[in-house]
Amino acid sequence: MAEEEEKDPKATEFTIIATLSSLSPPQLSNFTISISSLFHRHCCRITAVVSSPSLFSLTLHHLNSLSLSQKSILIAHHLLSTLSPLSLLLHPTSAAPSAKYSNLHNLDAVLLLLLLCEIRQHNPLSLETPISDWRQVLCKYISGNMLTLSYAGLSNITVLSRYVMMVGKCRRFLYLMGFSRSKEVGAAAAAVVALPSVAVEGGRECVVCKEEMGKGRDVCKLPCGHLFHWICILPWLKKRNSCPCCRFRLPSDDVFGEIERLWEIIANKAAGTVVNCYRECV
């Protein structure tokens, strides 16, 4: 299912729409405000880049210097920054690191890359000009679409619609670049350090070593509630960010692993919403 969603933006869009429909009115309102604010800041930033000949030249040069792998990582961080607010509404304990741009040039680069892709999609011939003319093309496009790009004053329906399309587009880009699927990754060090130590109340078996946890002994408790010997779970979490019992995922430092983790939360909510709607209909 996840692979089909990566291939087909419509499948991704359906998942996001189903998830958004499960939110309460206050949640949906707060989420819309958050997304509008995020995209408005991005609009202000890309407008500043395009408006300055020197900054535009530096940003375009930086973008052209990046490899395909590096560009995919930038898009992945951009996608992660927009998935995080939604996943946190669904699962408050699913805290994920915000988009990590090593410097402002990387943020400018990914915004410029996405804008160039958007322009090419609307008018494939618009960029069939010398690169020296691209800034003027972008200035004209931004000027004619400022309201849409800034998300300022748009209806909630329009903002959410564009959010859905953006997520679908980014996931599609990553799939086409071949970097959308992540191998098994370990849990983030910060997430592991934050795990609580609790005393065992009764004889329980550690799933990892299959030995009993002594009563009163301090053991590790994962967010899902399962307990393990510290000496057993630490090596496990170094290689995998999932619970050995229920596969609950902890945050990781791998951006693609984080996208998969958050998307799993969103997709599970969407699936539950669809099932509930079916039950109500029958």
Same structural domain, 75 and 102: yes
Strands in the chain per DSSP E? 197-199, 204-205, 212-213, 218-221, 227-228
Range(s) of the domain holding residue 105: 2-182+255-281
Please check whether residue 129 lies inside any domain of the structure. Answer: yes
Domain count of the chain? 2
Same structural domain, 207 and 224: yes
Same structural domain, 114 and 63: yes
Sign of CA dihedral 18, 83, 79, 156: positive
Taking alpha carbons only, the member of 6, 64, 2, 76 closest to residue 253 is: 76
* Residues linked to residue 213 through DSSP beta bridges, in sequence order: 204
Same structural domain, 35 and 142: yes
Per residue in 94-117, pLDDT tens? 655 555 555 788 899 999 999 998
Residue 221: give its domain's CATH number.
3.30.40.10
Same structural domain, 153 and 34: yes
- pLDDT (0 to 100) of residue 1: 45
CB atoms within 10 A of CB 61: 11
Please check whether residue 139 lies inside any domain of the structure. Answer: yes
Structure tokens at 126: 């618009």
Same structural domain, 177 and 200: no
Query: Which residues lie below 8 Å from residue 266, measured CB to CB, with a gap of 6+?
Result: 15, 16, 19, 83, 86, 87, 90
Given a cut of 70, whether residue 9 has pLDDT beyond it is no
User: What's this model's pTM, rounded to 2 decimal places?
Assistant: 0.83
Taking alpha carbons only, the member of 229, 231, 209 closest to residue 218 is: 229
Same structural domain, 168 and 202: no
Structure tokens at 44: 């202000």
- pLDDT (0 to 100) of residue 274: 61
Same structural domain, 38 and 176: yes
Per residue in 221-244, pLDDT tens? 999 999 999 999 999 999 999 999
* Helix, strand, coil % in the chain, rounded to nearest 5: 65, 5, 30
Same structural domain, 17 and 60: yes
Same structural domain, 124 and 224: no
| Calpha distance 267→252 (Å, rounded) | 19
Same structural domain, 203 and 73: no
Please check whether residue 248 lies inside any domain of the structure. Answer: no
| Calpha distance 161→164 (Å, rounded) | 5
Please check whether residue 126 lies inside any domain of the structure. Answer: yes
Lowest pLDDT segment from 166-170, 257-261, 264-268, 272-276:
272-276
- pLDDT (0 to 100) of residue 282: 43
Please check whether residue 247 lies inside any domain of the structure. Answer: no
